[in-house]
Amino acid sequence: MCDTLKVAVAQMAPVWLNKPATLKKVIEKIDEAAEQDTELIVFGEALVPGYPFWVEHTDGARFESDVQKNMYAHYVKHAVDVEVGDLDAVCKAAKSGNIAVYLGIIERASDRGESLYCSLVYVDQKGEIQSVHRKVMPTYEERSVWSIGDGNGLTTHDLGSFKVGGLNCWENWLPLARASLYAQGENLHVSVWPGNYRNVHDLIPVIAKESRSYVIAASGLFSANEITEDLPHYDLLKEQMKGTMADGGSGIANPDGSWLVEPVVGKETILYAELDLEQVRKERLLLNGTGHYSRPDIFQLEINQERQHLLKKKNP
Nearest one of 101, 160, 97 to 132, comparing CA atoms = 101
On whether residue 307 sits in a domain, the answer given is: no
Share of the chain above pLDDT 90, in %: 96
Point out the catalytic residue in the list 19, 29, 39, 45.
Answer: 45
Structural domain harbouring 127 = 4-283
- Tell me how far apart the alpha carbons of residues 181 and 289 are, in angstroms, rounded to a whole number: 11
Which among 284, 218, 297 is positioned nearest to 250, based on CA atoms? 218
The CATH number assigned to the domain holding 199 equals: 3.60.110.10
pLDDT in tens, 71-126: 999 999 999 999 999 999 999 999 999 999 999 999 999 899 999 999 999 999 99
Active-site residue 91, yes or no? no
Q: Is residue 310 part of a domain?
A: no
Answer positive or negative: Cα dihedral of 281, 200, 115, 15. negative
| Domain-embedded: residue 82 | yes
In a domain, 39, yes or no: yes
The catalytic residue among 29, 169, 171, 226 is: 169
pLDDT tens per residue across span 54-85: 999 999 999 999 999 999 999 999 999 999 99
Chain CA centroid to CA 126, Å: 20
Q: Show the CA angle centred on residue 286, arms to residues 203 and 183, nearest 5°.
A: 65
Q: Is 45 a catalytic residue?
A: yes
State the DSSP string of 76-96: HHTSB-GGGTTTHHHHHHHHH
Instruction: Look at residue 43 and tell me if it is in a domain.
Output: yes
Q: CB under 8 Å to 311, separation ≥6 — which residues?
A: 111
Asked if residues 158 and 210 have their Cβ atoms less than 8 Å apart, the reply is: no
Q: Is residue 84 part of a domain?
A: yes
Among 19, 29, 135, 163, the one annotated catalytic = 135
**What is the phi/psi pair of residue 175, to 5°?**
-60, -40
User: What is d(CA 160, CA 141) in angstroms, rounded to the nearest whole number?
Assistant: 38
How many domains does the structure of the chain reveal? 1
Annotation says 19 is catalytic: no
Q: Is the pLDDT of residue 312 over 90?
A: no
**pTM for this one?**
0.96
**Omega cis (within 30) before 263:** no
Listed in sequence order, the residues at least 6 apart from 294 whose beta carbon sits closer than 8 Å to its beta carbon are: 288
Confidence grade of residue 314 (pLDDT, cut at 50, 70, 90): confident
Is 279 contained in some domain?
A: yes
**Residue 73 exposed, middle or buried by CB count within 10 Å (0-12, 13-18, 19+):** exposed
Sign of CA dihedral 57, 60, 65, 66: positive
For residue 163, is it within any domain? yes
